[in-house]
Amino acid sequence: MMYLIPGLGADERVFQNLQPLLQGETQVLQWLTPEPDETLPQYAARMAARIPLGQSGLLVGVSFGGMVALEITRMRPEMRTVLISSIPDSSCLPPLLRLIRATGVYRLVPPQMLKLFPRAGQWYFGVKQKEYPLFKEILRDMEPVYTKWAIDRLMHWDSTIAGRSTQILGTHDRVFPPGPTPVEHLIRGGGHFMVISHAPEIAQILNKLAAEQTNRAATSQQNAV
């Protein structure tokens, strides 16, 4: 089983190129409306309720969805977390986001403002021209309450004992650029929106990881008998 979590403010549309290429059963975990003052672990617990206890397979998170995936695997340790255009812990936040966090400027900019500058977002997220209409649609449909909550939780993520993950990162990602920390899978030319632009390459990696996870689970069951 492969569970897919979209990025901040996005939905199942970001997987429209990827999902048809994935082998086996897949399910997109849709975002929930956050409760007032809800912490990220509390929110992740509600997301995890959709995954049966003891379920094995892959939990694939894009961008902020990767952070949520890591929180979920604290409660579903049989799942293997895969990060697409995301980071394995808060120490990997790039300098720009650290500056934004330190200054608190993100609190002064309402999420609706993001919708007024789609071309700036296109550059920052590395969206190719043919993908721009989809990006603009997703940006238009962003829910302000959720977006404001998610940005705050992103800036204050406590990744202590977040657990092991496999990272798939693009070489041209401006949001989470490759740093000194080793990355298991680097997608050449991939930007932050590469789940759309580089779907075949990502699908190949995910299918291989899913097969490995299935074989590992089968071996564990045989050894338990």
pLDDT at 112: 64
Q: Which residues of 70-96 are buried (b: 16+ CB within 10 A; e: fewer)?
A: bbbbeebeebbbbbbbbbbbbebbeee
Range of the domain at 65: 2-224
Q: How many CB atoms lie within 10 A of CB 141?
A: 12
Q: What is the pLDDT of residue 117?
A: 76
- Number of independent structural domains in the chain: 1
Give pLDDT, residue 8.
Answer: 87
Q: What is the DSSP letter of 174?
A: S
State the pTM of this model. Answer: 0.92
On the CB side of 73, CA atoms within 13 Å amount to 29
Interacting residues of 179 by C-beta distance below 8 A, sequence separation 6+: 92, 94
Distance of CA 198 to the CA centre of its chain: 15
pLDDT of residue 158: 86
Please tell me the distance from the alpha carbon of residue 185 to that of residue 30, in angstroms, as a whole number: 26
Query: How high is the mean pLDDT in each 10-residue block of the chain (225 residues)?
Result: 93 96 96 93 96 93 96 93 94 85 73 73 90 91 88 88 89 92 94 96 97 78 63
Element (H, E) at 169: strand 165-170
Cα Rg, the chain, nearest whole Å: 17
Q: Which CATH number covers residue 213?
A: 3.40.50.1820
Cα separation of 20 and 34, whole Å?
A: 30
Tokens of 164: 């092991």
